[in-house]
Structure 1
Amino acid sequence: MGVVRNPGFQTPLWLWNGHWQTVYPALFRTVEGVVYRRERLPTPDGDFLLLDWCEAGPQMDDKPLVILSHGFEGDSHRPYVKGMVKALRGAGFSCLAWNYRSCGGELNLTPGFYHSGATADLDLVIRHAIGTGYRQIALVGFSLGGNLTLKYLGESRLRPKEVAGAVCFSVPLDLEACSLHLDKPVNRIYQQRFLKSLKIKVEEKARAHPAHVDAAKLRYATSVYAFDDLYTGPLHGYEGAGDYYSSCSARYFLSTIDRPTLIVNAANDPMVPEYSLPLKELERLSKVNLWLSSQGGHCGFLQRGAKNGPYWSEKVATNFLVDLMK
């Protein structure tokens, strides 16, 4: 399917660069009318996941469900998630926005957190949805959740037949390249925000699991790369950041995806630089298509003239999934 550049998106003129296109929707957008029903789903290792449902009505076997995976240090209440839920719900889809371990307002119980390659948790959520009766399921992923979704689709041991395909936005397909890019001075504001949230969780974890989590190492976690090297990698069975990134980057799983999949990224994304995208590899794939807009920022995509209406990304996802689930 290949790479499509500049697929008809125009940002408002007053959002003049990728940073503003990223920050404005994150800080100033409000989404009304999305009401969740929360469910606590136990995991096989004695932990739990928090699921937020927004169903389209009485469930039937042929009613489609969209499972949404949020971004790094996000949750189901972020504007980009709720905006997508509202748009999809309006098109007749039921939605399930799940929260990763340590996200969603409660610290999880096991020493580990979540990470970009934790596809077993996504698989658990999908199979739980199938168990409740859903027979048509699509996936939507944002940022880290996009990497997680694509890795999941590319893993041959997973992918139940009920999963029809996916659409993902602002995906860091090469985790190492994006992590190093965050450490550039121009991007420090994002990195420091992530680290502030992560360090609070590590301190709580250290109190709950002192034998597994050492908060004293936090003084060395001066970047996301360093944090992943000290905590994310070792806590989840990887030797360090390099091993974690090479094992979990979605770029290494794209060639085995066998369901229709759309990736939408912006060339001016401050967190996912265009040079990190495997464009030549994507050109050769039959099931995966990349739309690369010149504008949009990171999980932004506010359309010029949209005012309070759905964002361009929400229209793209709705159209793609309506066609997919016919």
Structure 2
Amino acid sequence: MYKPSQFKPAWWARNPHVQTIFADLLTSRKKPVGTPERLELDDGDFVDLIWTQKLEQQYTGPLLVLFHGLEGSIKSHYAYRLLKSLKDHNWPGVMMHFRGCSGEPNRLPRAYHSGETDDPRYFIEYLTKRFPNAKLFAAGYSLGGNMLLKYLGKYKENSLLCGAAAISPPLDLSACEVRLKTGFSRVYQHHLLSRMKRNLRKKVEIMPELISKLKMADGVDGISTFKTFDEQVTAPLHGFKNADDYYKKCSAMQFLNNITVPSLILHAKDDPFMTHAVIPEPHQLSTQIEYELTNKGGHVGFIGGKFPWRPHFYVESRIAEFFKKIYQA
């Protein structure tokens, strides 16, 4: 279902790059928003969690699970703001860092990608066992949003979630990869790719045998695009034939029709990470999806407000509104 948007972009932030970049620059991160916990995985690896508050086993209220974007962490502006908002409103929340994203390299060669649902599944099952009476909701941003929608479409009625929200999800990975090689969007590719390559170098230093599992003809320095990284690193590490096989199997667009829990998808038409290929047609949406498309907003931006020194971030209020409606139904 297409939902008319109430979002009004700030007059000083109508450019998509201002929306995208200033969402980060205008987010203060002065105070910690949670406490860490390490979750050991059944394959010998780990993921690091951040909790907004401590919960007792008999807790019966809502619990929001957060999945970050590519190279994201608790330091990401959107993750920090959402957890702070949850903490301020006494709605418990927990974020799962994907493997290798919490500041410490993970133990195994494999890492994470846009369609990696095994770790989130393990994490969600862990939460349901630990808090059997809690009502779980999930929010995913960008890569985490694509992953979350794929997860929902894969597990359908067995997702163990009551509701979900995906913010700026790249529903067609191939189209997004092409977009990020053009115009100013190349700046985002360079920034993210630099971080990905830096983390890969760190991992290779402590795990030299990793090189034998990759297909890097010219070493890490020879990687200049996302597709090259996915062809030489993501695909061989995670069992895909090549980058195109990875994009085809992990793009969430094909899973939307199978989603059975109330889900919000929020996109902006001017998102510099994407093209119109990521905008689903009504027939591609299940009846449980509320799709909101704004004219402005950039990538995980959605900044409103009259003044730059007093911005209003639309996403947190929109997620709260959506989840409260489900929880109170």
- TM class by shorter chain equals over 0.9
Give secondary structure in 1 for the equivalent of 2:73.
coil
CA distance in 1 between counterparts of 2:252 and 2:277 reads 15
Instruction: Specify which of 246, 249, 256 is matched with residue 248 of structure 2.
Output: 246
Per-residue Cα deviation, 1:239-265 (whole angstroms, up to 9, x for no partner): 111011111111111111100000001
* Matched residue, 1:293: 294
- Matched residue type, 2:242: G
CA distance in 2 between counterparts of 1:324 and 1:309 reads 27
Per-residue Cα deviation, 1:224-247 (whole angstroms, up to 9, x for no partner): 111111101111110111011111
Instruction: Report the aligned-residue RMSD.
Output: 2.0
Q: Number of residue pairs matched?
A: 322
CA distance in 2 between counterparts of 1:197 and 1:43 reads 25
Report if aligned partners of 1:38, 1:52 keep a CA contact under 8 Å in 2.
yes
Q: Closer, same or farther in 2 for the Cα pair 1:323/1:309, shift >3 Å?
A: farther
Query: Post-superposition shift, 1:61?
Result: 2.9
Give secondary structure in 2 for the equivalent of 1:155.
helix
Give secondary structure in 2 for the equivalent of 1:231.
helix
Give secondary structure in 2 for the equivalent of 1:140.
strand
CA distance in 2 between counterparts of 1:193 and 1:261 reads 30
CA distance in 1 between counterparts of 2:223 and 2:23 reads 28
- Matched residue type, 1:271: F
Report if aligned partners of 2:33, 2:80 keep a CA contact under 8 Å in 1.
no
* Matched residue, 2:12: 14
Report if aligned partners of 1:68, 1:141 keep a CA contact under 8 Å in 2.
yes
Give secondary structure in 1 for the equivalent of 2:290.
strand
CA distance in 2 between counterparts of 1:185 and 1:235 reads 30
Q: Closer, same or farther in 2 for the Cα pair 1:158/1:105, shift >3 Å?
A: farther
Instruction: Specify which of 199, 212, 221 is matched with residue 197 of structure 2.
Output: 199
Give secondary structure in 2 for the equivalent of 1:253.
helix
Query: Post-superposition shift, 1:157?
Result: 7.5
* Matched residue, 2:144: 145
Report if aligned partners of 1:117, 1:249 keep a CA contact under 8 Å in 2.
yes
CA distance in 2 between counterparts of 1:205 and 1:33 reads 30
Report if aligned partners of 2:156, 2:260 keep a CA contact under 8 Å in 1.
no
CA distance in 2 between counterparts of 1:278 and 1:79 reads 27
* Matched residue, 2:109: 111
Identical-pair percentage = 31
Q: Closer, same or farther in 2 for the Cα pair 1:204/1:31, shift >3 Å?
A: closer
TM-score by length of 2: 0.92
Aligned 1:1-326 pairs, distance under 5 A? 2-5=1-4, 7-55=5-53, 60-134=58-132, 135-156=134-155, 159-161=158-160, 163-213=161-211, 216-282=218-284, 284-305=285-306, 308=310, 311-326=313-328
CA distance in 2 between counterparts of 1:59 and 1:42 reads 19
Query: What 5-or-longer segments of structure 2 have no aligned partner?
Result: none
Give secondary structure in 2 for the equivalent of 1:96.
strand
Report if aligned partners of 2:52, 2:94 keep a CA contact under 8 Å in 1.
yes
Report if aligned partners of 1:40, 1:49 keep a CA contact under 8 Å in 2.
yes
Query: Post-superposition shift, 1:31?
Result: 4.0
Query: Post-superposition shift, 1:160?
Result: 4.2
Query: Post-superposition shift, 1:220?
Result: 3.2
Give secondary structure in 2 for the equivalent of 1:303.
strand
Query: Post-superposition shift, 1:277?
Result: 2.0
Q: Closer, same or farther in 2 for the Cα pair 1:56/1:298, shift >3 Å?
A: farther
Per-residue Cα deviation, 1:8-30 (whole angstroms, up to 9, x for no partner): 11111111310110001113321
